[in-house]
Chain A
Amino acid sequence: AQSVTQLGSHVSVSEGALVLLRCNYSSSVPPYLFWYVQYPNQGLQLLLKYTTGATLVKGINGFEAEFKKSETSFHLTKPSAHMSDAAEYFCAVRANAGNMLTFGGGTRLMVKP
């Protein structure tokens, strides 16, 4: 069984500030980890994923995430927020032999001018 916890359902940052969205997971087997972004009334777009190998993963739009096995975390960061980053972000986990993604509750990111 696996689960995902996203700490903070709403995060607000100023434009240009660091973005940090937290994700902790539990999985009984080595996980694949994902971050998706959802803009209003749209589907989910993959930002980045971790499967194996390098634990620091770079994605689109300047985002990156680091897989920390000891902390069971996969936090998403971006050095400098842009207004266009305002959206809902979902962390997801999948057992490497599993069929389904298990999603966290989501974090709504607001960017202030």
Chain B
Amino acid sequence: NAGVMQNPRHLVRRRGQEARLRCSPMKGHSHVYWYRQLPEEGLKFMVYLQKENIIDESGMPKERFSAEFPKEGPSILRIQQVVRGDSAAYFCASSPGLPALGNEQFFGPGTRLTVL
């Protein structure tokens, strides 16, 4: 059973470009979470999605950031008009069910975004 897949592993963008980060959850998992890790810091929650629904986006910046998890295909984290401060590692995690039931989150290897 393959783990959580993220691609690309490394992404370089110039200021003002768009960044698209993809996450394929583990087989059988329908819950996806995105976290951001700034240099020398811990992970910060961004958004929690189930298939076709955003459940909790309390950690998402209000502008330029969006996320989706379509019925078919991977979850996408999209950052428009990137700025240098967006440079970070973005981690995706998935779980098989509701967090309240104690379901563990499994993390992917991350996408390291560098904005020039």
Contact = CB atoms under 8 A, between A and B. Distances in A.
Nearest to B106: A46
Contact of B102 (A45, A51, A99): A51
A113 interface: no
B57 to A, nearest CB: 10
A56 B66 CA distance: 40
Contact of B56 (A32, A42, A100): A100
A104 interface: yes
Nearest to A32: B102
Interface residues of A, number: 26
Interface of B: 4, 6, 33, 35, 41-45, 48, 55-56, 58-59, 91, 93, 99-100, 102, 104-110, 112
Give me the 10 closest cross-chain CB pairs, A-B, nearest first. A103-B42, A100-B45, A43-B107, A44-B107, A43-B109, A103-B43, A99-B48, A99-B56, A97-B100, A105-B42
Interface of A: 4, 6, 32, 36, 41-46, 49, 51, 90, 92, 94, 96-106
